[in-house]
Structure formats: structure tokens, C-alpha cells
Structure 1
Amino acid sequence: MNLKKTWDLIFIVLLSITLNFFIFFSPENPLRVILGLPFVLFFPGYVFINVLFKKENNLENIERFALSFGLSIAIVPLIGLLLNYSPYGIRLIPIMISITLFIILFAIIGIYNRKTIKEPWFPQINIEELKNDFEWKTSSKLDKFLTVILIITVLLSIFTLGYVISAPKQNEKFTEFYLLGSEGKAYDYPTNVFVNEKNEIIIGLVNHEGKSVNYSIEVWFVNLTYDTKINQTNISNMHLMDEINVTLDNRAVNIDENWTKQWESNYTFSVGTSGNWQQWYLLFKNTDNEEFETLKNLKPEEKITLALNGSIQSLKLNINAND
């Protein structure tokens, strides 16, 4: 193998593998950031351009490098889109492996092309050629346009990288609140039941509020109708079934790991009166004492109204009870 003609592709593959090593075994290493920028913004487009335009006279050097940036910005999101429809999803490790495999595949094809075709393109450090490429007065309009785009792209990439590194990371604060059927799946809920029959569901919580939180879950049985003429909800009957209190420590969000439960509780209930009912699970979070007390002390009808408007985090089951 002629390393003089393939050193650039081999070097890109080695740098990509090195970045993978840092991500897997030394994620805090600063080289992860230094290698990550060209890995995303330059390497995929560069190896792809070498396959599309493999001969020396196909493109000028400045055009190749400019298109390498542009194509990388297009290729990486497409890889992410494909992963989104796969079982792996858009997560760090699948994205890293997918981009690395893309780079290795097209680098191998590029190396093969340079060995088999006549007059292949490969990077050569030639001062006179560099002067000609950047000679503004004699350059074509296309060369000038691509030069400007290349400079702007590089500057924006450096600015974005600096901002991401220096800006404080503020994680979104939220609580996962969910209901599962008796088998622990998000289906097969007890929506068609018999009066006085025992029914079971699973209530779950995961705390991502950034601190320990005292939770209060109120379970209400409600009979309501919606008057479309006056755009008003009418509550004819409601009563409190249960109140569940639990305190949970904060759990950091980690999209690189599989989801795991934090708190789940089997909840058993029965319906004493036939008819169409709504079972509401209202979640109150004691992250702000004043707001918590205000919401807890509202009238029952006001709580349901706020839940309907999304002002109180809530879940609902429509239940048809038969004699």
C-alpha cells in the first residue's frame, strides 16, 4: 500500500477510532472535544467526497474541503434520522458507532480507488498550488464563493464549540408520572369493570427535579360532562378515593443508559356505582411550599379544572362500570 497516497484516509480512520476510545474509556478527556468537532463536521464529508470525486481533475482542492464541511453537516443528521427509526434510537453510543462505521467504509473504498484508478486525487502539500487556490484576483466566482463559505463555516463551528464548552449546562427539571396496567405494561388498563370488582394498576414516579421532592398523589373519581354550546365543563359528582405520599431523591437524566424505574406502587380500587366515570390522578410536587399549599387547598372542582387545563400534572382513566 502506498502510504503517500492514502495517509489522509488512514489518519482520519485512526483519529475516529481514537475518539471512540476516549468516549468509551475516558469521557472527561479534553481530546474528546478537540477530536469531536472534525469527527462530526469534516471527516464524514471528506471520505464521501473522495469516493464521489476520485480523480485529480474532478474538483479543485478548495472545493473539496468546502464540500467536505457541507456534506458532513448533511450526512450526520441523516444517520441520526435512520437511527431514530431503529431499535437503538438517537443516543451517543449508537451515533458514534454509526458515524465511525460510515467513515471507515468510505475510507476503505477511497483507498481502493486510489490504488486502482489512474491519476487519483490525494492531498499534496504544494506551496505554489496553495497560492493559486487562494489567489483571490484570479479565482473564479465559484472558488471565491466556496472560500467564503468555508471560512464562515469554520468560524461558526469554532464559535459554537466555544459556547457549548463555556455555557453552563442547565438540565430541564421535570417529573415522570405514569400509569401501567397490572402486568406492568402501558396497556390493558381496567377501563371496563364491574361494580365492587377489585381492579389493579401501577402508579410510577421518577424525580428529575434536581433535588429531593415530597410528592402527593390524589386519586379522584369524577362524573363530568362537557357543554359544547357554552364551552364549559360541568362536574356533577366527585369524591376523593385515596391520597398517596412519597419522597424521592433526584435522579439525573442519562440518555445513554436504558430507562429504569425509581418508584412504583400497585394500586387497587373498586367502583361502587355503575356508570361512566373518570378516574383522575393529580400530582402535587412540594418544590415550592407556597404554591404546593395553595394547590392542595383548592376546592375539588377547581383542582379538576386546573388538571383539564394542564396547570396541574395529572393522568386520567375513563372507566365504564357495569352492575
Structure 2
Amino acid sequence: MRAVPTDLVLLLIYLALGDALLLQDATARPIRTVVGMPILLFFPGYALVAALFPKKNESVPAGIIPFGNNAGRGTTHGLGLVERVALSFGLSIALLPLFGIGLSVVGLPLDGTEIIQILTVTVVVLTLSAAVRRLSVGPSERFRLPVDQWLNEVRTATVRAPSALDAILNVVLALGIVLAFTSLGLGLVTPTSGESYTQFQLLTTNESDDYTTAGYPQTMDTGEPRSLVANVVNKEGKRTTYTVVVQLQRVEKTDGELTVQERQSIETLEYTLDPNESVYDSHTVTPRMAGDDLRLTYLLYAGSPPTTPTIQNSYRHTYLWVNVTRST
């Protein structure tokens, strides 16, 4: 059992359980953040350090790690657990741009699922390499977590404490520290209500088939379809179903306010988006009502729309002013 690289086994177990949670759409955002942060900011670097330095008495140049074991004693530093953890965070952050470049080179989208997959493959490969290298060195030289030392310290603070009161105080102190860090982490990753929103806009496509906020139709003919693009981005932090009601409205200004005199229901669009997912829906609009200064209105609702959709009861809205002539 002492030959088993405990830290690497625990890393792979956490990675498997973490991926199972992160790939579930139903997992809440705070849980996804807490579970995913170690996989993103610690695991790649730790696996790389383990693969590069399988021995417990590894040393590195003094200029690389200016703290920790043997700091300031000569030209090399001992690579202890503290130094390994520090290098793990630094290397993980350094590897993140490489993951993004790799996804771009192979033509994969830079979204959550793809990032999780490339992180998992990288960590598994590096961890298996680290296990092979570590088992290739002698047992006395092999790096392993100081579990025995930790257990002795726990026993000293509890079972071997001078009195029962000292043992209880030590346990309460440890639980308090864990609770404080847990509360701090949840407070940092839990979104406030002001961070939840939905981005909604109307776009067109140019000659290069790129989306743009220019070139909107100003004149249309009845019965003539015109192409537009509805863009919805889900920033609500949860899976959301949207409904977009498209209307052509004849409005009249009365006492400084616009009043809808007549409306034509053109189309109803529906989307179900995961957190941070977006949709670019190219669709056609065919007006049947003619007139000048008609308002082509897009009303966005989270869920089902009301019986009479209006700008006032919509969650988001956008519109265009168009002149529609009656085709002969």
C-alpha cells in the first residue's frame, strides 16, 4: 500500500467525480464553480510537477522558488510539499492559454464542455506519467504525501491532548477554520441577483455572412420575406426557456405616448439555453400590413408569453422602424 501514489489516486478520483458534476446541466452554478476551480487552477500543474519531479528530495535553482525549504541556503532549494503546491498553481495558470490555443487550432469551440474534456485528458495523461515515473524510483526516494505525520499531529491534538477540554477546543478550532474557508469560498462564487440577466438583440448578416448591427431593412413590401437574426444570450445562471414574439405594429403618438392601434403577429420563436449559452437564429419576416413608420417589434419572455404580448409586459424587447408598401 505504501507504493500506491495516494495523492495521484485521490486526484483522479476527484477528477472523475468533478467531471460527472460539471457535465450535468442541472448542477447549480456555485457548486460548479467550487468543484471546477481546483480542476482548472491546480490539477494540471500538480500533475505536471509530479511527472517532472518523482523524488521527494528533488531540488531546483534558487531563483525559481525564493521561499520554502532551505530558502536562502545555497544555490538550490528543496522541493517540498509547499513548493509543489505553489508550482502547481503557477503552472496551471500558465497552461490555460495553451488549452485555448489548442482548441482554436483543432477548430473546437471555446465552451465549458470542451474545456473540461481537454483538461481531463491532459490531467489523466500527466498523472499516469507521474505514477510510472514515481514507481520507477526506489521506495526510500519516492515522493509521497506525509500522511503518517498528519495523522500523528491529529492524534496529538485530540487523543493525546493534555486534557479533554484541550481536545475539544482543538476540534472546534479546526471545524471553525474549515467553516470559515467554506463560507468565504461560497460567498465569492455565489452570484448576486444583479449579475443575472439575458442579452437580447436583433442582427443582420453582411456579405461575408458575419453578424452585424448594421444594414437593417428600412423599406419592405407586403408578402416579401426579409431575413433577420435574433440573438439571445443566457446569463441567468440557470437553464432557461425563452419565447420571442415578433409583431408588426401600427402606432400612433397621443399625448406624447405611443399607442398600438393595430398589430400583426408574424412569428413566435422558442429557445432553451443552458447557462452562458447563446443562439443566433436566422429567420424571415413577411409583413402583410402596409404603412409608414410601422414598428417591427421583438418581445422576449422567459417562459411562455401572456395572452396579449406587449412591450410593457415583456422581459426584453427591441424593434425597427420600417415603411411597408403594398405590393401590386
- Per the normalisation by structure 2, the TM-score is 0.51
Measure how far apart 1:92 and its partner are.
1.2
| Correspondent of 1:264 among 269, 277, 283 | 283
Tell me the equivalent position of 1:137: none
> 1:85 & 1:161 partners in 2: Cα distance?
35
Residue 160 to residue 17, structure 1, CA distance change in 2 (3 Å): same
Q: Does the aligned pair in 2 maintain the 1:45–1:67 contact within 8 Å? A: yes
In the alignment, structure 1 residue 120 sits paired with structure 2 residue 139? no
Residue 103 to residue 96, structure 1, CA distance change in 2 (3 Å): same
Tell me the equivalent position of 1:178: 203
Secondary structure, aligned partner of 1:28: coil
Structure 1 letter corresponding to 2:190? I
Measure how far apart 1:36 and its partner are.
2.1
Tell me the equivalent position of 1:51: 51
Alpha-carbon RMSD: 5.2
Provide Cα deviations, 1:150-202, integer angstroms capped at 9, x if missing partner.
xxxxx9998465222252363444334334599xx669xxxxxxxxxxx9763
Q: Unpaired runs of 5+ in structure 2?
A: 59-78, 154-179, 212-223, 235-239, 250-262, 288-294, 301-310, 313-317, 321-328
For residues 129-168 of structure 1, what are the structure 2 equivalents within 5 Å?
159=184, 161-168=186-193
> 1:156 & 1:87 partners in 2: Cα distance?
39
Measure how far apart 1:37 and its partner are.
2.7
> 1:74 & 1:313 partners in 2: Cα distance?
45
Task: Give aligned pairs, total.
Answer: 232
> Structure 1 stretch 28-37 or stretch 71-80: which is displaced more?
28-37
Structure 2 letter corresponding to 1:264? H
Tell me the equivalent position of 1:301: none
| Correspondent of 2:83 among 35, 42, 63 | 63
For residues 1-323 of structure 1, what are the structure 2 equivalents within 5 Å?
4-25=3-24, 27-28=26-27, 32-58=32-58, 59-118=79-138, 119-125=141-147, 127=149, 159=184, 161-168=186-193, 170-179=195-204, 202-206=227-231, 246=266, 248=268, 251=271, 253-254=273-274, 259=279, 261=281, 264-265=283-284
Residue 203 to residue 32, structure 1, CA distance change in 2 (3 Å): closer
Secondary structure, aligned partner of 1:205: strand
Q: Does the aligned pair in 2 maintain the 1:176–1:205 contact within 8 Å? A: yes
> 2:280 & 2:285 partners in 1: Cα distance?
17
Structure 2 letter corresponding to 1:47? A
Structure 2 letter corresponding to 1:55? K
> 2:184 & 2:97 partners in 1: Cα distance?
20
Provide Cα deviations, 1:235-286, integer angstroms capped at 9, x if missing partner.
xxxxxxxx9864656746437768463x611669xxxxxxxxxxxxx96556
Structure 2 letter corresponding to 1:57? N
Q: Does the aligned pair in 1 maintain the 2:246–2:267 contact within 8 Å? A: yes
Q: Does the aligned pair in 2 maintain the 1:176–1:208 contact within 8 Å? A: no
Residue 27 to residue 75, structure 1, CA distance change in 2 (3 Å): farther
Provide Cα deviations, 1:66-109, integer angstroms capped at 9, x if missing partner.
22122222323431343244432111111111111111010000
> 1:212 & 1:259 partners in 2: Cα distance?
12
Residue 204 to residue 25, structure 1, CA distance change in 2 (3 Å): closer
> 1:90 & 1:175 partners in 2: Cα distance?
21
Provide Cα deviations, 1:29-73, integer angstroms capped at 9, x if missing partner.
786554323222221111111122222222122111122122222
> 1:248 & 1:75 partners in 2: Cα distance?
45
Structure 2 letter corresponding to 1:22? L
Identity of aligned residues (%): 20
Q: Does the aligned pair in 2 maintain the 1:179–1:202 contact within 8 Å? A: yes
Structure 2 letter corresponding to 1:120? R
Residue 14 to residue 67, structure 1, CA distance change in 2 (3 Å): same
Residue 14 to residue 27, structure 1, CA distance change in 2 (3 Å): farther
